[in-house]
Amino acid sequence: MGGEANHNSHVVKETKLGDLKLFKKGKVRDVYELPPAKPDERPMLLIVATDRISAFDVVMEDPIPDKGKILTKMSLFWFNYMEGIVKNHLIASRPEEYPEVCHKYKEQLKDRSMLVIKADPLPVECIVRGYLAGSGWKDYIESGKVCGIQLPAGLKESQELPEPIFTPSTKAEGGEHDENISFEETVNLVGRQTAETIRDLSLKIYKEGRGYAAERGIIIADTKFEFGFVDGDLVLIDEILTPDSSRFWPADDYEPGRPQKSFDKQFLRDYLLSINWSKKPPPPKLPQEIIDKTREKYLEALERLTGQTI
């Protein structure tokens, strides 16, 4: 998978698109705002997935080569796959189809960008958990619940839940931690009808994706989605079912009662825990082996799920 070669020639740690208006710089994505194609239309956003990687809400100094391309290909695959269930914000993903002002940056944008309609985002992260892991497992040990949802007694770490659960959180601004909230708090934020719609859609997309991934040897243990409104229509925005937004476990190694191996950032998190890093900036320098292995895991997930490579 990908080999141990030096991939630094095609690393994009940050974008420099001087003629475009930077709208937001996230942990991984640089987002630019473009004017509407026509005066009465909504503005557009150009989302560029860099090769940055974050863990414990801190962006590492060392990027993971090709990670942005892998995330973009995976989101494009799933947006297309889920089109029958939910609309999304995608307009185009090939630089030659973008507005002319973007064309001179096509080398930076190729395979790692999406032109999308600018939605009015909802202030909640829609998290779906199908297995007991991470903060959900910690919550369960302490209270027998996950985010206020009562679960049967005696479940083990990484065990499949009787039924997937919807456990929304707030969307924290840069550097802050998201806070888990109850369904009723979600209702207070977005209204009952919207809260019920995003809950039902999140569970439906997760179940559909989980079934597809299971046939390809990957367990999707949990994931998060984001939604927004475009002219009254609810659409899926941001990314979908990537190793950055989900826990992907290899099915052939799955065993409840312990943490699982993964195709996602957990590998990096485990390394950082092993060196007793404080989880505060500055981040430690990552060994080349950790960079290469993380890249391989992301790439294997892409190849297994979509049949594509980079």
* Tally of domains in the chain: 2
Domain boundaries, position 222: 121-262+301-306
**Domain final residue, candidates 85, 118, 151:** 118
pLDDT at residue 117, rounded to an integer: 97
Question: Which amino acid belongs to residue 237?
Answer: I
Which CATH number fits the domain that encloses residue 27? 3.30.200.20
**Same-domain pairing of 155 and 178:** yes
**Same-domain pairing of 140 and 235:** yes
Which CATH number fits the domain that encloses residue 223? 3.30.470.20
Tell me the mean pLDDT in the region 283-305.
Answer: 96
**Same-domain pairing of 106 and 159:** no
Q: Say which range, 1-5, 187-191, 220-224, has the weakest mean pLDDT.
A: 1-5
Please enumerate in sequence order all residues whose Cβ is within 8 A of that of 89, keeping only pairs 6 or more positions apart, or say none: 116, 117, 119, 228, 230, 235, 236, 237
Give CA–CA dist 301/309, Å, rounded. 10
Q: Which pTM does this prediction carry? A: 0.93
Give CA–CA dist 236/248, Å, rounded. 20
Contact 155, 190 (CB under 8 A): no
**Same-domain pairing of 149 and 234:** yes
**Same-domain pairing of 27 and 85:** yes
**Domain final residue, candidates 90, 118, 146:** 118
Residue 180 DSSP symbol: B
pLDDT (tens digit, 9 = 90+) per residue, 207-259? 999 999 999 999 999 999 999 999 999 999 999 999 999 999 999 999 999 99
CA proximity to 278, closest of 52, 57, 28: 57
Q: Is the pLDDT of residue 3 over 50?
A: no
Give CA–CA dist 18/239, Å, rounded. 25
Tell me the mean pLDDT in the region 96-104.
Answer: 96
Give the whole-number percent of the chain exceeding pLDDT 90: 89
Q: Is the pLDDT of residue 300 over 70?
A: yes
**Same-domain pairing of 48 and 76:** yes
* DSSP β-bridge partners for residue 59: 54
**Same-domain pairing of 126 and 210:** yes
The three-state secondary structure class of 228 is strand
**Domain final residue, candidates 118, 141, 174:** 118
Contact 166, 222 (CB under 8 A): no
- For 120, phi then psi, to 5°, come to -95, 100
